[in-house]
Chains A and B, each alone.
Chain A
């Protein structure tokens, strides 16, 4: 598969139900393509299926029905070890609560992004330092996460997500725990990183934030309510890998 405008992430009729009586249907048939170089917001009220959607896109969970393809690879056909490998190499995660590991420094935290790819420690650390400088934390190399402000922590998390140049970065409410000024800075950072070539999906309940991004996908009751990409006729054809 070639890089460029090809889809890096494809959801084909993805449904997800959680056990219960009656079963809780979190996603009710989602079709979505995200192409390389996009900056997409997935927005919706709570309960609309955003988190489930993130789990599907990030290969953290498997759909009940339908297929998820990352760079053309169908996740349903892969073993845990291969899915984990794919997650580690091709998908970067940014979480609302940062989820940095206490007890190790910023460099090590970022370097963890490549820990499970068999990359040597020295190489990981070199890359991690470069990445920390890229997100504007060149002066915080020797600190630990608990010595940083919220915005700085999220920058560390973003650096970790970007390490190893994943095909797509999934940011789950990246500004949910930050004040508005810091939020703006983080959004701006994501924008810059996107301009530098990273494909980024931001999951948020903040409609203003979503509207400020180039493409917005609205969810409601587990379905795509609106996709701004479809307005200008740019709907992606159903491509098989």
Chain B
């Protein structure tokens, strides 16, 4: 007499899959409709992840274009509350740090800028006047919209370059008529207007003049108000820690060093809660899909009592029956998961196309989508499968 495994019921893995797929093939419309529930949930989640990833990629691309390696050095807070004054040659000092490519500073000038002398001095229009290093525009990756930026020559004469908002407020639309503006008590010729500067938004409301003319006309001290530092890629954090010690060794903590690109990145964070909401909705859809699967599987078990009975009569153990229905539910859900992932990726691509942004569907989202579907399907199948396995075979094959 044969013993051991030959005596036991045994179902091959390939047959587990085949038997599990049987119910799906036999009822195609029901299979499609049930899988659709899961597909919608997965598609929603993949699309949310994909669209946000695409947006992130877009922001990253913008940042890269702007130059993510810019540091901005500002006065910090002193313990005593005394005014902090950076050395006049701060930019030169910082430039001597190895991985610094360029450092440029701007200094506050005690002056007002108005369209003409007939405008009251109090109506500054919120425009600051700054004496500037000539390479500051390069440091912040700014662009000139019209005319030119200050050079060695124009820095010595009453020439002014206006930020985009400053130009608008002063009514300077074109340089063709050689416009002039009134700085405290002298008319300056506007030689250039800047594009909005993303990494240094303060530039938009600033009138820039050369350091020499500022010293001459306004007795400016030229202590730097802000220093812009371009750092070699990969050295940002190292340079960041060293700047304070370089320009204010006696109290390095009183120097604030920020990275303007962080602010742009932070802009994205505001959409975080919205993203969570959408993901939550996707999860709810997925849950509903899972309940749908459980529901359909319960019905399927009721309809297929005689099949279950026959399978038991033909040697299936309770475990085999349970496995059959769990695998069927998981397959059903997997089908929806794969469709959902495809749909989600397509939605992302469509969105990116419309927004003209970078398409970025994270592979983890795809894998996660399929895995989530598989798990939900498996879980949804557990109860119906347990019911099927509990069926009394004698009862299940009884006629009528």
Interface residues of A (CB under 8 A from B): 1, 51, 55, 58, 60-61, 71, 80-82, 84-89, 91, 93, 95-97, 99, 101-104, 112-113, 115-118, 120-121, 160, 172-173, 176
Residues of B within 8 A of A118 (CB): 5, 10-12
Residue of B22, B315, B398, B399 near A116 (CB, 8 A) is: B315
Q: Is the CB of B397 within 8 A of A93?
A: yes
The CA of A116 and the CA of B6, in the complex, are separated in Å by: 11
**If A1-B1, A176-B399 touch, does A112 touch B312 (CB 8 Å cutoff)?**
no
Residue of B1, B15, B22 near A104 (CB, 8 A) is: B22
Residue of A58, A80, A97, A104 near B317 (CB, 8 A) is: A80
The CA of A93 and the CA of B312, in the complex, are separated in Å by: 11
Residues of A within 8 A of B7 (CB): 82, 85-86, 89
Which of B83-91, B94-102, B303-311 is found at the contact surface with chain A?
B303-311
Chain B, range 318-335, C-beta contacts under 8 Å to A: 318-320
B267 in the interface, Cβ–Cβ < 8 Å? Answer: no
The CA of A91 and the CA of B12, in the complex, are separated in Å by: 21
**If A60-B313, A80-B318, A87-B313 touch, does A115 touch B8 (CB 8 Å cutoff)?**
no
Residues of A within 8 A of B320 (CB): 84, 116
**If A60-B313, A112-B311, A115-B19 touch, does A85 touch B8 (CB 8 Å cutoff)?**
yes
The CA of A160 and the CA of B313, in the complex, are separated in Å by: 11
Chain B, range 287-321, C-beta contacts under 8 Å to A: 306-307, 309-320
**If A103-B26, A113-B314 touch, does A81 touch B319 (CB 8 Å cutoff)?**
yes
B394 in the interface, Cβ–Cβ < 8 Å? Answer: yes
Minimum CB distance partner of B389 in chain A: A80
Smallest Cβ distance from A120 to chain B, in angstroms?
7
Q: Is the CB of A99 within 8 A of B306?
A: yes
Q: Is the CB of A115 within 8 A of B317?
A: no
Q: Is the CB of A160 within 8 A of B26?
A: no
B393 in the interface, Cβ–Cβ < 8 Å? Answer: yes
The CA of A196 and the CA of B310, in the complex, are separated in Å by: 25
B122 in the interface, Cβ–Cβ < 8 Å? Answer: no
B80 in the interface, Cβ–Cβ < 8 Å? Answer: no
Extra pairs beyond A60-B313, A113-B314 (7, CB < 8 Å) = A80-B317, A85-B315, A87-B315, A97-B399, A116-B10, A117-B9, A176-B399
Q: Is the CB of A61 within 8 A of B394?
A: yes
Residue of B9, B309, B313, B318 near A85 (CB, 8 A) is: B9
The CA of A97 and the CA of B6, in the complex, are separated in Å by: 30
B153 in the interface, Cβ–Cβ < 8 Å? Answer: no
Residues of B within 8 A of A93 (CB): 310, 313-314, 397
Q: Is the CB of B399 within 8 A of A89?
A: no
The CA of A55 and the CA of B392, in the complex, are separated in Å by: 11
Q: Is the CB of A99 within 8 A of B315?
A: no
**If A61-B392, A115-B15, A116-B10 touch, does A95 touch B314 (CB 8 Å cutoff)?**
no
Residues of B within 8 A of A96 (CB): 399
B25 in the interface, Cβ–Cβ < 8 Å? Answer: yes
Q: Is the CB of B22 within 8 A of A103?
A: yes
The CA of A112 and the CA of B5, in the complex, are separated in Å by: 19
The CA of A173 and the CA of B319, in the complex, are separated in Å by: 29
The CA of A104 and the CA of B315, in the complex, are separated in Å by: 19
The CA of A99 and the CA of B397, in the complex, are separated in Å by: 8
**If A1-B1, A87-B313, A103-B26 touch, does A82 touch B8 (CB 8 Å cutoff)?**
yes
Residues of B within 8 A of A176 (CB): 399
Sample of 27 A–B contacts (CB below 8 Å): A51-B398, A55-B394, A60-B393, A71-B1, A84-B8, A84-B318, A85-B317, A87-B314, A87-B315, A88-B314, A88-B315, A88-B316, A89-B7, A93-B310, A95-B399, A96-B399, A99-B309, A99-B310, A99-B397, A101-B22, A101-B307, A102-B26, A115-B19, A115-B311, A118-B12, A121-B14, A176-B399
Q: Is the CB of B316 within 8 A of A116?
A: yes
Q: Is the CB of B9 within 8 A of A95?
A: no
The CA of A112 and the CA of B315, in the complex, are separated in Å by: 10
Q: What are the 6 tightest A-B residue pairs by CB atom distance, in nearest-first order? A: A88-B315, A103-B26, A118-B10, A116-B315, A60-B394, A55-B394
Q: Is the CB of A84 within 8 A of B317?
A: yes
Smallest Cβ distance from B302 to chain A, in angstroms?
15
Smallest Cβ distance from B390 to chain A, in angstroms?
12
Minimum CB distance partner of A109 in chain B: B310
Residues of B within 8 A of A115 (CB): 11, 15, 19, 311, 314-316
Q: Is the CB of A58 within 8 A of B313?
A: yes
Minimum CB distance partner of A52 in chain B: B394
Q: Is the CB of B313 within 8 A of A103?
A: no
Q: Contact mask B8-43 → A, CB, 8 Å, 1/0?
A: 111110110011001101100000000000000000
The CA of A104 and the CA of B5, in the complex, are separated in Å by: 28
Residue of B10, B318, B394 near A117 (CB, 8 A) is: B10
Q: Is the CB of B397 within 8 A of A60?
A: yes
The CA of A87 and the CA of B313, in the complex, are separated in Å by: 6
The CA of A176 and the CA of B398, in the complex, are separated in Å by: 13
**If A60-B312, A60-B394, A71-B1 touch, does A116 touch B26 (CB 8 Å cutoff)?**
no
Residues of A within 8 A of B318 (CB): 80, 84
Residues of A within 8 A of B397 (CB): 60, 93, 95, 99
Residues of A within 8 A of B310 (CB): 93, 95, 99, 101, 112
The CA of A85 and the CA of B315, in the complex, are separated in Å by: 5
Residues of B within 8 A of A87 (CB): 312-315
Q: Contact mask B365-400 → A, CB, 8 Å, 1/0?
A: 000000000000000000000000000111001111
The CA of A99 and the CA of B320, in the complex, are separated in Å by: 18
The CA of A133 and the CA of B81, in the complex, are separated in Å by: 103
